[in-house]
Amino acid sequence: MASTDIDFSFKQGPDLFAPKDLIELGRPGSGVANLAGDFVLVPYSEYSLEKKVNEKSVYIVPVESSTPPLKIPLPKGGDVFWLNTGTLGHVVEGTNGTELYAIYFTWNVEAGTLNVSDPPTLLIGTFPTKTAANFRYSSKSGYLVFSDNVWPDGNLSTVQEQDKNWENRGNTAYVYDTTYARHWDTWVGKKRPALFSVRLQQDPDRNWIFGNDFNSPLKGTGHQSPVEPFGGTDDFDVSETHIVYTTKDPKLPEAWHTKQNVYIVDIAGKSLPRELTSGKQGAIHNPVLNVQGTKAAWLELDKDGYESDRAKIVIYDLEKDVRYTLTQKWDRSPDSLAFSKEGTFIYFTAGDEAKIKIWALPIPPTPNESTTDPKLPSKYTTPIALTHRHAASTLQPLFNGRLLFTQSSLTSPNDVFIIRNLDHFHAEVLQNDGVVSFKGTADQVTRLTKNALKGKDLSEGEEFWFKGANKRDVQGWVVKPGGWKDEDRKKWPIVLLIHGGPQGAWEDQWSTRWNPNIFAQQGYFVVAINPTGSTTFGQEFTDAIAEDWGGKPFVDMQKGWKYILDTYPQVDRDRAVAAGASWGGYAINWIQGHPEFGFNFKALVCHDGVFDSNYNGYSTDELFFFNHEWGGRPWDKKSKELSLKFSPSNFVHKWSTPQLLIHGSKDYRLPETESIGAFHALQQLEIPSRLVVFPDENHWVMNHGNSMKWHYEVFRWFDLFVGVALN
pLDDT of residue 727: 43
pLDDT of residue 235: 98
Position 708 pLDDT exceeds 60: yes
Cα 723 to Cα 717: distance, rounded to the nearest angstrom: 9
pLDDT, tens digit, 9 for 90 and up, residues 436-482: 999 999 999 999 999 999 999 999 999 999 999 999 999 999 999 99
Q: How much is the average pLDDT of 611-616?
A: 98
Q: Please report how many Cα atoms fall inside a 13 Å half-sphere around the Cα of residue 135, on the Cβ side.
A: 26
Cα 324 to Cα 346: distance, rounded to the nearest angstrom: 14
The β-bridge partners of 350 are 334, 357
- Higher pLDDT pick, 111 / 281: 281
Per the annotation, the verdict on 163 as an active-site residue is no
pLDDT of residue 120: 80
Burial group, residue 167, by CB count within 10 angstroms (0-12, 13-18, 19+): exposed
pLDDT, tens digit, 9 for 90 and up, residues 217-267: 999 999 999 999 999 999 999 999 999 999 999 999 999 999 999 999 999
Handedness of CA 361, 367, 370, 371 (dihedral sign): negative
pLDDT of residue 5: 65
Strands 39-48 and 27-28: antiparallel
The amino acid that residue 673 corresponds to is T
**How far separated are the first and last CA of the chain, in Å rounded?**
22
Name which of 459, 415, 422 is nearest 440 in CA terms. Answer: 422
pLDDT, tens digit, 9 for 90 and up, residues 675-703: 999 999 999 999 999 999 999 999 999 99
Per the annotation, the verdict on 653 as an active-site residue is no
pLDDT of residue 433: 87
Position 421 pLDDT exceeds 60: yes
Q: How confident is the model at residue 6 (pLDDT cuts 50, 70, 90)?
A: confident
pLDDT of residue 3: 52
pLDDT of residue 110: 85
Going through 13-155 in order, the beta strands assigned E by DSSP cover 27-28, 32-33, 39-48, 53-62, 70-73, 79-84, 87-93, 98-108, 113-126, 133-138, 143-150
Are the beta carbons of 592 and 598 closer than 8 angstroms? no
Q: How confident is the model at residue 608 (pLDDT cuts 50, 70, 90)?
A: very high
DSSP 371: B
pLDDT of residue 218: 97
Per the annotation, the verdict on 667 as an active-site residue is yes
- What CATH number is given for 276-456 in this structure? 2.40.128
Q: Give the active site residue among 308, 340, 582, 675.
A: 582
Cα 134 to Cα 154: distance, rounded to the nearest angstrom: 17
pTM: 0.97
Are the beta carbons of 134 and 80 closer than 8 angstroms? no
pLDDT, tens digit, 9 for 90 and up, residues 498-553: 999 999 999 999 999 999 999 999 999 999 999 999 999 999 999 999 999 999 99
Q: In the chain, where are the structural domains located?
A: 276-456, 462-612+647-723
The β-bridge partners of 406 are 393, 416
Write the CA distances from 649 to 231, 346, 415, integer angstroms. 34, 48, 44
pLDDT of residue 7: 82
Residues in the chain: 727
Cα 282 to Cα 301: distance, rounded to the nearest angstrom: 5
Mean pLDDT, the chain, whole residue set: 96
Q: Give the active site residue among 699, 704, 711, 719.
A: 699
pLDDT, tens digit, 9 for 90 and up, residues 133-187: 999 999 999 999 999 999 999 999 999 999 999 999 999 999 999 999 999 999 9
In terms of CATH architecture, what is 462-612+647-723? 3-Layer(aba) Sandwich (3.40)
Q: Give the active site residue among 235, 309, 352, 667.
A: 667
pLDDT of residue 434: 83
Position 4 pLDDT exceeds 90: no
> What letters, b where the CB count within 10 A reaches 16 and e where it falls short, cover 66-101?
ebebbebebeebbbbbbbbebbbbbbbeeeebbbbb
The amino acid that residue 177 corresponds to is D
Position 417 pLDDT exceeds 80: yes
Position 603 pLDDT exceeds 60: yes
Least confident interval from 351-360, 427-436, 657-666: 427-436
pLDDT of residue 725: 45
pLDDT of residue 724: 59
Query: Which residues have a Cβ under 8 Å from the Cβ of 58 and sit 6 or more positions away?
Result: 41, 42, 43, 44, 71, 72, 74, 80, 88
Name which of 628, 629, 647, 642 is nearest 590 in CA terms. Answer: 647
Cα 134 to Cα 130: distance, rounded to the nearest angstrom: 13
Are the beta carbons of 630 and 610 closer than 8 angstroms? no
Q: How much is the average pLDDT of 400-415?
A: 98
Q: List phi, psi (to 5°) of 579.
A: -145, 145
